[in-house]
Structure 1
Amino acid sequence: MLNYQKTIKILSLSIASALFVSACATSDGTEDIDDSYMKSPKGPQLQLPPGNSEIKATDSYRVPEGAVITQRDAKGKKLSLEPPQLLLIAGDGVWVDTERAEPTVWIRASESELIAYIERFMNSQSIAYQEPSNDSISTEWVVTDGESKISERLGPYHVDNQRHKFSLNIVDKKPNEVALQAKHLAYQQEKDEQWVDVDTSERVAKQFLNYFVGYYDSERTREARERILQQAKIDVELGYNDQGSLALITEREVLAVWEQLPRVLTALNLEITDHDRSERTYYFNVKEPDDGFWSWFGDDEDAAKVELDPGSYQIKLFELSAGGTSMNFYGAEGNLLESNIITRIYPEVSAEFKRGKGTN
């Protein structure tokens, strides 16, 4: 009888243990492990050894004199995840002022010139602005809604609708240089159909300054290119040289015409055979017309673009007593071409000189 009861008790314990283990093994694991520490029991308090009423710091753990320990709030979630914004300096004559708190660059220009460039920038980018002063221009509200030109410049990728106010201010000057500073005056975001004020940002001020500096550099580059092309253009007219012979006349100096002559002759399909700089003379040749198959279709791309008979010619440059340069045309033997021939070739030669290098 005793053995039977003992067997029953062992069997009951075995079944209970199996059920417990089975329950643990089949748990769905829905318990939030991250919050489990909140249910942890409070541990025992630190006890001082017998015979001690206070803890004495040894020399190796002494707090330095003058040290101040303060309470600091957690900053982690308040920090911006955006990368830092640098001032991107392009072109010559622009450099960053690293000593000022607000984003500032030095630009090689006068105050009036720079204000004029800023106005052109505002107008070209469709940015409304207030009446400028001698050293400052402030914008009206600039909306960045994904459709305006400025949207991609300020990177509103995290906000559907926002608007800003900026100012560009001349805050210092040196001989031939001025310091231009950008300020982010106001910032609002649209929430629930209401504009809500947001803290202004030095980062956004830098982006706006970069926006202007990029425009300024591109405009200066374009203007420089236009000046170079304009200098390459030469206005040529029919006139008379100092000896009274009909020639092509220009107000430009001999050197400018001399440098353009190779391009002009080549463009007119007049083959240059030689030149003499000391005599200011270019020698060129007009080829015989092509009598081949393609001549029937008028498709001779190498034919001269002026009405000159085949043969060798010269063009000589002379300084005029009244200023400017005359271009006189001669045949192979050095005989001055007749006036009717000069009149005939004038339109093409004049047009090519006026075209200038690099223009179409």
Structure 2
Amino acid sequence: MHYWISGSVLATLLLSGCSLWTTPEPTTATEIKKINELTIPKGLIAPRKPGQFDIPAAVAAGARGDAVELKAPMQVLAVSTNARVEEDDKEVRVFFERNEFTGDLMPYLTTNLNEFFTQNNIVVTAAGESNWQTDWISQFEETGWWLWESQELTQQSKFQVLLEPKIHGRTAALRVAMLQHQYSQAEQPITAIAQRREEVHFLNRMIDHLATVEMEKIRAAKASLPDVLLTRAVNEKDEAVLLTTQSIDVTWNQLELLFEQVSLTVTDLNRTDYVYYVNFTKPDAGFWGSIWGGEEQPVLPIAEGEYQLHLSKTDKGTAIKWRDKDGKALDQATVYAIYDVFVAAIRQAKLEL
């Protein structure tokens, strides 16, 4: 029985051989037609021929494999909120603008760039107040596997890092230029595209560090915001309102973030008159919420249905008036109960309201 099974398997493989060994598809050569250069009549000027899309000479001559640089050039990633790049910039650089988190721009950039060098064990020599030259920065590649893994040196570079402030001091450019480079195989030259790629890669590492520092400052600023600016008040018509010291535009934007926290859905809005039309549906914790628990979401003490929120400017900031779907003001007790829920939601979401 044992040998009968083996023979059956062999027979099956032989019968299905057509699906295991496929016949290569025949290929046919196609003739490439060359287009002759455009003949310009006498007295006319030939149009400009931009060279940005020209095929490199090495490729046109038939070079392949290692003889051709196949990797696309890297892009400068201005991920920090105060960073920008200029289109078609020939230099490898990024521009930083002063904002509320940077303070004086040059000391901010200088301090954080020195921190970047220290954290990444990059030895630098100061060639000026805003000019650094790095020692060899090495790149390694993992070789082997499991217990036999090792790091093999592939290339190393030296860079010049320049901070170039504008005269007004509110803008500064961070520029990188390669000074020296060598592959592990010394006889292998570096191409222009590869050189720019290494410069951009090093610049992006510094931008990422500056963006991380900025994000920490933003989080710290949000955490230090006043507890809640919203208060309860009564207007000149003896209507209960919610009052905030924020401007009407800030209040408008922050309310939209608050709606999701309290199960309000915007159905329409009038930006000119600062009116939100919302619909309230009581939240359902759901099956998974009952299992996993978590912080309880505040629930508005109003019936499900449609409501209107009217915003108006006051000498103390912005007043928020609650209306039902017909435009009738809600009573004071309801508005004050809404206030308690709003305050809890503002604290949970850390909103500026």
Between 1 and 2, higher relative CO (CA 8 Å, sep ≥ 6) is seen in: 2
Q: Which has the larger radius of gyration?
A: 1
Q: Normalised by the size of structure 1, how large is the TM-score?
A: 0.47
Q: Normalised by the size of structure 2, how large is the TM-score?
A: 0.48
